[in-house]
Amino acid sequence: MTPTPSRTPSPLGRRSITGAWVVSAGPITVRIRPRSFWVGIAAIAVLLAAGLVTLTHGTLALSPAEVVAALFGQGEAPAVRTVQGRRLPRLITAATVGGALGIAGAVFQSVSRNALGSPDIIGFTSGAAAGAVIQVTVFGGDVVATALSAIAGGLVTALLVYGLARRGGITGGLRLVLVGIGVGAIASAITALFVVRAELDRAVSAQQWLAGSLLGRGWPHAWSVTVAVLVLIVPIVIVARRLTLIEMGDDLAGSIGVRVERTRFIAVILGVLLTGVAVAATGPIAFIALAAPQIVGRLVRSGGVHVLTSALLGAILLVTADLLSQAVDIGLRTPVGTVTALLGGVYLVWMLARRA
């Protein structure tokens, strides 16, 4: 009699025949792969550690113990004001923006079936930036209006790219990337035109915003981005399951009832909304959406759209980049967008050279 191989017991629920953990709550059933679960747990631990280090860093140096005390309103008054009033909202903004970009990158790379299918490569970030810059240079830098203009710019760009990439009712992945690069170049040119022709003070404000920065981000930014991401993540998780089926082939997905083009269109709109929210909060941030899903894929070693783990990796990357931007002492406050752009350029060259 052949002994039955033992299986690691699931801490979440029963296991399916594929080895995934199955968690049921009423009509909702979620399947979680063990490797994805443990990667997520490790990512949470790394994010908490990076966040703690970030809260200790600044003009007022604090120890980890002082930071923890300040988070609970204890300790010296300057430490409490610094941590709760300045550093914590900046950290939350960085984590949520990074998470939004990580999810958006995972969605776009799945839709385009291309590792270059991130919003900063295929023009959606440039479109959102163009919308915000037009608002800042023409009408002034109202925070709410700038945020709405960024989202509107991203949506207009997405509709244009998606429409131009369709041929015969089908949206090709490579065509989506190539059209997006072209439309993104046009959006960047429009942005430069409005900055050059703007009044000096508005041009300076627009240029500072385009650098991508977390400087001065307070609780209004943290709350608005967090709420927006939480609202959008629910429909994205639903769409992500269908995108995973589409990755196995349009015909196969269609044969089991998935509306392929409709799913792609909804996924693009949701991804653009996430991108617009992120850009509105910090300005354009490169690299995060490009790299986070790729790193997750290597860690998890399975296909599909890994929404939560991509969000965690995106948050880790941006929080770490923000810490690095604060640690670089060159007599200037280095915008985090500059750091991520540098890292993104190096990563893109490495990825292209590796695939050549």
DSSP string, 164-182: HHEETTEE-HHHHHHHHHH
- Confidence (pLDDT) at 6: 45
Question: pLDDT means per 10 residues in the chain (356 residues)?
Answer: 47 54 60 80 94 88 88 86 91 95 93 85 90 89 83 91 79 82 93 91 86 87 92 91 82 82 90 91 90 89 84 94 79 77 83 72
End-to-end CA distance of the chain: 52
Q: Domains in the chain, start-ordered, CATH in brackets?
A: 34-68+75-351 (1.10.3470.10)
pLDDT given at position 317: 94
- For residue 346, give Cα distances in angstroms to 52, 291, 353: 27, 11, 11
Main-chain dihedrals φ then ψ at residue 284, nearest 5 degrees: -65, 130
Residue of 325, 351, 286, 288 lying closest to 99 (CA atoms): 288
Question: Given this model, what pLDDT does residue 17 score?
Answer: 47
Residue 165, classified by CB atoms within 10 Å of its CB into exposed (0-12), middle (13-18) or buried (19+), is buried
Cβ atoms of residues 324 and 339 within 8 Å: yes
Which residues, at least 6 apart from 174, have a Cβ–Cβ distance to it below 8 Å? Answer: 112, 114
Q: What is the pLDDT of residue 20?
A: 64
The residue assigned the tokens 């089991």 is 256
